[in-house]
Amino acid sequence: MNEVKKESKQGKIRAQSEAKIIEAAQEEFILQGYKGATVQSIADRAGLPKANILYYFKNKENIYHAVLEHTLDTWDKGIGDIDPDQGPKIAIEKFIASKVRMSFQHPSSSKIYAMEIIQGAQHLKEFARTYLRKWVREKAALFQHWIDNGEMVDVDPYKLIFLIWSTTQHYADFEIQVLTVMNRAEYEEEDQEQVTAFLTDIILRGCGLK
Amino acid sequence: MNEVKKESKQGKIRAQSEAKIIEAAQEEFILQGYKGATVQSIADRAGLPKANILYYFKNKENIYHAVLEHTLDTWDKGIGDIDPDQGPKIAIEKFIASKVRMSFQHPSSSKIYAMEIIQGAQHLKEFARTYLRKWVREKAALFQHWIDNGEMVDVDPYKLIFLIWSTTQHYADFEIQVLTVMNRAEYEEEDQEQVTAFLTDIILRGCGLK
DNA sequence: AAATATTTTAACCTTATAGTCAAGTTGCTA
DNA sequence: TAGCAACTTGACTATAAGGTTAAAATATTT
């Protein structure tokens, strides 16, 4: 009973500072990598003295943990669950739309996650082994059900999920390449819609749903 | 005239050592990031003393450059050019097959490249602005031609190329996630074929080519 | 075989950085 | 408003890592 009260009271300044630090750290970790991001550079970006950073987080490793947690939170909140009753077409449409939205609204979270996986998922092995595996298994079963029912073409559900993940995240992780290749400075409003429309169109057709 | 001779003579030991170093460095850069990979760790992995590494490469930055060059070489050699006369179906099939092959045969090159792009493409901006942009533009024009000819469904060719890139590279870059989610230890022979078949199937259908 | 070029390596130096500490300041509670 | 807790911050320390050097060993050429 005390704990909650205490947390909510001490939270004022703490919560604000921690949020600032996590945001700054996220950018630094992306740009410089874990080792390359210095506590000083995080402090500079957050506009706080270094010692203050280490007052809120015991050490650099803990900052990184907080950034990863923040990333998973963002992911979790952003991906609406699939409703089995709505059928494959609506399910895939919604899934694509939410993933594209996440990529355009929270590219940094996507990048941090991608780097962590590429580098061997040292900190996310457990997450993948438990939460993610279960999530994918459930969704795959749903797709398989629709396939068995003749509601969509027979494709490997796991690979379909990977396809949707990869194509949507590409616009966040490879943002710079996409923009450079297309000779554009930054994404605009309509890009998100156009990407959603394109992916929905081609994937639905690929699944025999058009 | 002397230069070539000199190079070929001095190359014996040098070429071997450099190759060993580049391979070791590639793994270290992936696992630890640029700053996190130490010259010592590269030396250990290559089985050479640190000072020897710095005899062949002036400094760490140069090692990284060599790794990136090696990556671009690999990419360049591995991607067969599209023959305009063969039509969209064969073109896409071949493109997917070669990209999947690259992902399964040279995952480390894919990972290094991905990390470099995610981190802002500091060393590859020029490559993307010139070579890559031109490459994509040419291929996109080809697809557009086929679309105008009614040989395939009207989809944005740029986005189609990004889709093929992202879905194929996913199996290299996110290898660990794919394996973990599917509760597998490592890829097997048939995985490459199955992925190729799946992607070819769904993408061709998505392009109205099935 | 002598002379020259290349390669190997230990020891050393310098700098950058994670983390500590202690002294001060601000904010909250009774 | 007094006292306690939370916060702020400059100065300091230890260590790890990039890079240098010089001398020895090995290859290569003539």
> Both A91 and A155 in a single domain?
yes
Q: What are phi and psi of A198, to 5 degrees?
A: -60, -50
Q: What is the pLDDT of residues A169-204, one digit of tens each?
A: 999 999 999 999 999 999 999 999 999 999 999 999
Residues 51-110 of B with CB under 7 A from strand C: 51-52, 55-56
Q: Could you tell me the residue range of the domain that residue A10 belongs to?
A: 2-67
Residue A117 lies in a domain: yes
**B48: closest CA of chain A, how far (Å):** 24
> Both B87 and B18 in a single domain?
no
Q: Which chain A residues are Cβ-neighbours of B183 within 8 angstroms?
A: 133
Q: What percent of chain B is modeled with pLDDT above 90?
A: 90
CA distance A113 to A74: 11
Q: What is the pLDDT of residues B115-165, one digit of tens each?
A: 999 999 999 999 999 999 999 999 999 999 999 999 999 999 999 999 999
> Both A48 and A26 in a single domain?
yes
> What is the pLDDT, as a whole number, of residue B11?
65
> What is the pLDDT, as a whole number, of residue A11?
67
Q: What is the pLDDT of residues B12-21, one digit of tens each?
A: 889 999 999 9
> Both B187 and B113 in a single domain?
yes
Direct distance between the N- and C-terminal alpha carbons of chain B, in angstroms, rounded to an integer? 56
> Both A59 and A83 in a single domain?
no
Q: Do A115 and B115 touch (CB under 8 A)?
A: yes
Q: How many domains does chain A have?
A: 2
Residues A67, A152 contacting (CB under 8 angstroms): no
> Both B169 and B110 in a single domain?
yes
> Both A91 and A19 in a single domain?
no
B119 touches chain A (CB under 8 A): yes
Residue A173 lies in a domain: yes
> What is the count of residue pairs from A and B with beta carbons less than 8 Å apart?
166
> Both A109 and A27 in a single domain?
no
Q: Do A118 and B111 touch (CB under 8 A)?
A: yes
Residues 23-42 of A with CB under 7 A from strand C: 37-40
CA distance A171 to A195: 9
Give the CATH number, domain containing residue A121: 1.10.357.10
Q: Which chain A residues are Cβ-neighbours of B167 within 8 angstroms?
A: 162-163, 166-167
Residue B51 has pLDDT above 60, yes or no: yes
Residue B74 lies in a domain: no
> Both B91 and B21 in a single domain?
no
Give the DSSP per-residue string, A79-137: SPPP-GGGHHHHHHHHHHHHHHHHHHH-HHHHHHHHHHHHTT-TTTHHHIIIIIHHHHH
Domain endpoint, select from B12, B37, B66: B66
> Both B48 and B109 in a single domain?
no
Whole-number mean pLDDT of chain A? 94
Q: Which residue is nearest to nucleotide C16 (CA to C1')?
A: A38
Residues 24-43 of B with CB under 7 A from strand D: 37-40
Residue B1 has pLDDT above 80, yes or no: no
Domain endpoint, select from A67, A90, A123: A67
Q: What's the sign of the alpha-carbon dihedral B128, A159, A98, A96?
A: positive
B121 touches chain A (CB under 8 A): yes
> Both A57 and A93 in a single domain?
no
The count of C-alpha atoms lying within 13 angstroms of the C-alpha of A62, restricted to the half-sphere facing its C-beta, is 9
B27 touches chain A (CB under 8 A): no
> Both A100 and A174 in a single domain?
yes
Q: What is the pLDDT of residues A111-158, one digit of tens each?
A: 999 999 999 999 999 999 999 999 999 999 999 999 999 999 999 999
Among A residues 170-209, those touching chain B with beta carbons less than 8 Å apart: 170-171, 173-174, 176-178, 180-183, 194-195, 198-199, 201-203, 205-208
> What is the pLDDT, as a whole number, of residue A93?
97
Domain endpoint, select from B21, B39, B66: B66
